[in-house]
Amino acid sequence: MPGPNQHISQLADHLFRREAGKMVAVLTKLFGTENLQMAEDVVQDTLLLAFNSWPDKGIPNNPSAWLYRVAKNKAIDRLRHNRHLLNTDPENLTETHDQPLPDIDKPWKQELLEDDMLRMMFACCHPRIPKENQITLILKTLCGFSTIEIAKAFLIPEDTVSKRLYRTKEFFRNEKVTLNIPSVNELKNRTDVILNAIYLLFNEGYNATQSEYLIRRDLMDEAMMLCHLITKNEHTRQPEAYALMALMCFQSSRNESRLSPEGEIILLTKQDRSRWDRQLIEQGNHYMNQAAYGDAVSAYHLEAAIAFQHCTAKSFDTTNWPAILGYYDWLCRIAPSPFTAINKAVAIMQVNGPQAALDALQTIAGASKFYLYHAILGEVYTRLHDYASAKISLEKAIGLTRSAPEKRILQEKLYKLLN
Amino acid sequence: MKEYMLLFRGGLDFATVSPEVMQQSMMKWMTWMDGLKADGTYIGGERLTQTGAVLSGPQKQLSDGPYAEGKEVVAGFIAIKANDLQQAIEIAKGCPIYEYDGSTEVQEIAKM
């Protein structure tokens, strides 16, 4: 045992969460995806042992190595007792009677652990697993979120989360999903699915539509950690991953200025730009440069380019709106969605005025279910001095959003309109 | 100086708690116990797993755990030094267990 009494402050933030994700991944590779639950149980037992012994005995000199050693020993116990549970490798069928235990010592090096996390990500993002189940499983296995925490983050019943996890584990069992990095011809498509899950996870953190808090930094951090793994691996790194990383850096650079100390939304027009995180913007630029190789221009590239324009503008009015509008045009061509078209209307308003924005908004099909559509319509009508229509739009927006801070800022706008 | 036993019941549900919350809770326990060790209050203690059994009655009837409902389960104990019950209670108030739906029982250890 390493010497005790390392000071508490030396224990890394999120150590348990970080290591839990790695350990679940490596153990799942060892046990097979059909035994994911067993991997999760071993990790939970391992952390519990740390919980029970570290306060009295002190933090070991190398906490991660301590955890890995305990997990390894517990895994060996499980393998001995549950050999019949393990999927027999067809090549070793002749040895079923006394099958050797898999090599349990090798995989605990940092790079290999990260490799296993990547493999686990590919399994979680199997194309036949529904998107919401992919994200749920990623959060549970790789990010160490509890069922309750996932339920809270997405404002869904705990039971729904449990069902999603159950179904995905069942899928693993039935399909005998293996933990592999996909083959070269599959790699691009499979990585795209992961990037999409990361993008959705980040967006939920950036704009926690379902929560009483507007920003869930933990979700944003997890999304960035996962994307970072993708960019670090020579097989999975691709321009899209760098572009997504850039986008996330730019977006999160504004976190500090987006909410008041009381948790109220501060609109982009009123944000204190000196509080934007220069270091994250720098990192975003760095990733942007790496995203520029090849000739692929993905939606992530364009969204990152838009975010870059905002991050580097001195003020709202001096923002390069024509450039942003150009990116939105492009974005609407390669990844058309009502949501993109609604956002584009803001750029149109800045470049061509509120009437042009209104004309554009009115042509968007399927947009009326989004609160943002009505919120922006409200703003456009206000600028056109059509206060009666503005009132109707804002009221619709208030009725459609589930976020408390969004509701409050819309109500404030409505109040100003009426007084 | 008297000695007191602090008996901890309930607290985190380890079957469902996330690694993050477990770490936060552990660090709070650690901070509290380091304080007790630093000022010489701490005598010793252990945490308990939930594996065990109960023997009872003249027939020594045996029953397996869980022998109590979540909040009643003894999660661990420590022994401390204090001048009197009041001071022991004050010390027990510093324990982080109350944030996690747990309770502490303070009892004086009988000394001849």
Integer CA distances (angstroms), A231 to A18, A246, A273, in order: 18, 11, 29
| Rounded Cα gap, residues A257 and A270, in angstroms | 9
Q: CA nearest A48 in B: which residue?
A: B14
CB–CB contact A11 B27 (8 Å): yes
A232 dihedral zone (left: phi>0; alpha: psi -120 to 50; beta)? alpha
Q: CA nearest B76 in A: which residue?
A: A52
Q: How far apart are the first and last CA of chain B?
A: 13
Strands B2-10 and B102-108, how do they pair? Answer: antiparallel
At CA A335, angle to CA A305 and CA A365, rounded to 5?
120
pLDDT reading at A403 higher than 90: no
pLDDT for B66: 62
Residue matched to tokens 């992961």 = A194
Average pLDDT, chain A: 87
A131 dihedral zone (left: phi>0; alpha: psi -120 to 50; beta)? alpha
CA A15, chain centre distance (Å) = 19
ipTM exceeding cut-off 0.95 for this assembly: no
**Mutation target among A49, A56, A165 for the B interface, most CBs of B within 10 A:** A56
CB–CB contact A17 B20 (8 Å): yes
Nearest C-alpha of chain B: how many angstroms from A16? 5
> Stretch A91-106: mean pLDDT, rounded?
54
Identify the band that residue A97 occupies on the pLDDT scale cut at 50, 70 and 90.
very low
pLDDT for A241: 96
pLDDT tens per residue across span A199-227: 988 988 887 665 566 678 888 999 999 99
pLDDT for A2: 36
Residue pair B99/B69 in contact by the 8 Å Cβ criterion: no
Residue pair A94/A100 in contact by the 8 Å Cβ criterion: no
Residue matched to tokens 């009295």 = A56
pLDDT for A100: 57
pLDDT for A92: 45
> Stretch A139-168: mean pLDDT, rounded?
90
Nearest C-alpha of chain B: how many angstroms from A14? 6
- A142: which DSSP letter? I
> Stretch A57-72: mean pLDDT, rounded?
92
pLDDT for A91: 45
| Rounded Cα gap, residues A232 and B4, in angstroms | 54
Residue A324 identity (one-letter amino acid): I
Residues of chain A contacting B28 with CB distance shorter than 8 Å: none
pLDDT reading at A85 higher than 70: no
Integer CA distances (angstroms), A74 to A69, B48, B63, in order: 9, 19, 27
Q: Tokens for A364?
A: 């968007």
CA A400, chain centre distance (Å) = 24
Identify the band that residue A8 occupies on the pLDDT scale cut at 50, 70 and 90.
low
At CA A276, angle to CA A273 and CA A279, rounded to 5?
140
Bridge partners of B107, per DSSP, are: B5
CB–CB contact A144 B25 (8 Å): no
Contact residues for A73 (Cβ-Cβ < 8 A; gap 6+): none
DSSP line for A323-376: HHHHHHHHHHHHS--HHHHHHHHHHHHHHH-HHHHHHHHHT-TT-TT-HHHHHH
